[in-house]
Amino acid sequence: MPELPEVETICRGLRALLPGRKVTEVELKEPRLRKTVNSGFPSQLHGRTILGVERRGKYILVLLEGDRIWLSHLGMSGKLIYVNAERPQAKHDHIIVKLNGGCEVRYNDPRRFGLSMVVLRSELDSLPQMRNLGPDPLDHQFDGAYLYSIGCRSKRRVRDFLIDQRVVAGVGNIYANEALFRAGIRPTKRASSIGRSGMAAISERLRELLREAIGWCGTSFSDYRDAEDRFGEFQTHLRVYNRAGERCGVCGSVIKRVRMGNRSGFYCPKCQQ
Partner DNA sequence: CGGTGGACCTGCTGGC
Partner DNA sequence: TGCCAGCAGGTCCACC
Where do contacts with DNA occur on this chain (CB under 7 A)?
A: 1-3, 6, 32, 34, 57-58, 73, 75-77, 91-92, 110-113, 128-129, 153-157, 160, 163, 165, 172-174, 218-224, 232, 259, 261-264
Q: How far is CA 108 from the centre of its chain?
A: 16
**Shortest reach from residue 184's CB to DNA, in Å:** 21
Kindly list the distances between the CA atom of residue 264 and the CA atoms of 88, 115, 170, in Å, as whole numbers in the listed order.
36, 24, 18
CA distance 161 to 182: 17
- DSSP string computed for 119-166: EEGGGGGGSHHHHT----TTSTT-SHHHHHHHHTT--SBHHHHHT-TT
Q: Which is nearer to DNA, 121 or 263 (CB)?
A: 263
236 exposed, middle or buried (CB, 10 Å; 0-12, 13-18, 19+)?
A: exposed
Least distance (Å) between residue 223 CB and DNA:
5
β-strands 93-99, 23-28 pairing: antiparallel
- Tell me the C-alpha to C-alpha distance, in Å, between residue 142 and each of 116, 121, 169, 200, 206: 28, 25, 10, 10, 10
Q: 180: helix, coil or strand?
A: helix
Task: State which residue, 91 or 140, has the beta carbon closest to DNA.
Answer: 91
Q: Closest CB to DNA among 111 and 196? A: 111
In angstroms, give the least distance from the CB of 11 to DNA: 15
CB 165 to DNA: min, Å: 5
Which is nearer to DNA, 21 or 73 (by Cβ)? 73
Instruction: Tell me which residues are annotated as active site.
Output: 2-3, 58, 263
